Amino acid sequence: MPAFNPHLWCVILAGGVGSRFWPASTPTVPKQLLPLGSERPLIRDTVDRILPLIPAERLRILAGAHLSAPLLGELTELGPDNLLVEPGAAGTAPVLAWAAAELVRQDPDAVMISLHADHVIHPPGAFRALLEEAASLAVRHRRLFTIGARPTRPETGYGYIGVGADLPGGGCEVAEFIEKPDRATAKSYVASGEFLWNTGLFVWRAADLLEQLARWTPELADALPLARAGDTEGFFRAVPTLSIDEGLLERSDRVGVVAATFEWDDVGAWDAMFRTRPTDENGNVGVGEVFPVECQRVALYTSDGPVVAYGVQDLVVVRTAGVTFVTTPERAPDLKKLLVRLPEEIRG
């Protein structure tokens, strides 16, 4: 049996809809339940990646009540006690504040790892080792640590972190957070070597997160006693939708960053399949009963019968639940713009 850190906990954010993976991803079967990073659902890979570091009884999955049964159906080793059921949709700041309050009530010294259910990470051993290092730094420096991935391309769909001064013993201060830049700016960030992708992976003492929220996030501060007292419904009624980056990390002077020692992808849209799933000799990738013939750089996904592509290139084709969706890899990240223009009966 591994020697677990007795105060290390993990929460997994699993409540998103994943609208950029329409039509396969829906409110009842969101992308974290789809096999987009391997042959298994993303949530299955996420849980398996962390359990060697943290025992199941200190794992919490955050999602709405409508996802409780599907999640537990996939994660059969877990039970209702592993779920933190959100009473309604909220941004990451309220959700993580609530989760931190729940952990502190059980373990005042809890160190909280916050993961997303839809990331692809390799190799898992390096991932766990870095989380252990970040947990140690969070306790030593009493800082909120984020993990930054080294950019491999001028990605405009990610936020970036400007790396500041070194911290004693490892990690760095965060100089600035930058929202999704244009392509020219992203190229300059990659070339400089001074910026990291903002992965949204966090490690901090749960009590330190609550203290920093009370200090820097007036949108939540007055409601934090409700979360601490276990009044979940009252807390969520009292707070706005707010991201943890905007609500706290961009304001706090106690944020640190450690650089990832592993490959990371947030599987944000259909074009991610070219990076997260094996491709053939022509750059094609497929999930389900798919047949690309004389094709180049074609992504095919089906859960609704066979899909055949012949003599085409640079396409994404999705067939599921009676809907066929076709786009290009370049336009795939813009899927939200399409959805608002479709009839509700098509959107699902």
Q: Within its chain, how far is the Cα of 159 from the centroid?
A: 13
What gap in Å lies between CA 19 and CA 89, rounded to an integer? 15
What gap in Å lies between CA 281 and CA 305, rounded to an integer? 24
Q: What is the pLDDT of residues 338-348, one digit of tens each?
A: 999 999 888 87
Domain positions in the chain: 8-265, 270-347
Q: What average pLDDT does range 48-70 have in this prediction?
A: 96
CATH architecture of 8-265: Alpha-Beta Complex (3.90)
Residues 6+ apart with CB under 8 A from 214: 221, 224
Q: How confident is the model at residue 126 (pLDDT cuts 50, 70, 90)?
A: very high
Is 90 exceeded by the pLDDT of residue 202?
A: yes
DSSP letter at 1 equals -
Where are the alpha helices (H) located in 87-205, listed in sequence order? 92-106, 124-141, 183-192
Q: What is the pLDDT of residues 281-307, one digit of tens each?
A: 999 999 999 999 999 999 999 999 999
Is 90 exceeded by the pLDDT of residue 27?
A: no
**Averaged pLDDT score across all residues of the chain:** 95
What gap in Å lies between CA 225 and CA 211, rounded to an integer? 12
* Number of alpha carbons in the 13 Å side-chain half-sphere of residue 253: 1
Is 70 exceeded by the pLDDT of residue 2?
A: no
- Per-residue model confidence (pLDDT) at position 1: 40
Q: What average pLDDT does range 199-213 have in this prediction?
A: 98
Q: How confident is the model at residue 82 (pLDDT cuts 50, 70, 90)?
A: very high
Q: What is the pLDDT of residues 140-166, one digit of tens each?
A: 999 999 999 999 999 888 999 999 999
**Omega before 225 within 30 of 0, i.e. cis:** no
pTM: 0.94
Q: What average pLDDT does range 161-182 have in this prediction?
A: 94
Q: How confident is the model at residue 16 (pLDDT cuts 50, 70, 90)?
A: confident
Structure tokens at 2: 């591994």
Q: What average pLDDT does range 192-210 have in this prediction?
A: 97
List the single range of 56-60, 128-132, 260-264, 342-346 with lowest mean pLDDT. Answer: 342-346
Q: How confident is the model at residue 4 (pLDDT cuts 50, 70, 90)?
A: low
| % of the chain at pLDDT higher than 90 | 89
Is 50 exceeded by the pLDDT of residue 62?
A: yes
Long-range contacts of 324-328 (CB under 8 A, 24+ apart): 325/22, 325/23, 327/270
Q: What average pLDDT does range 332-343 have in this prediction?
A: 91
Q: How confident is the model at residue 86 (pLDDT cuts 50, 70, 90)?
A: very high
- Per-residue model confidence (pLDDT) at position 132: 96
Q: What is the pLDDT of residues 260-273, one digit of tens each?
A: 999 999 998 999 99
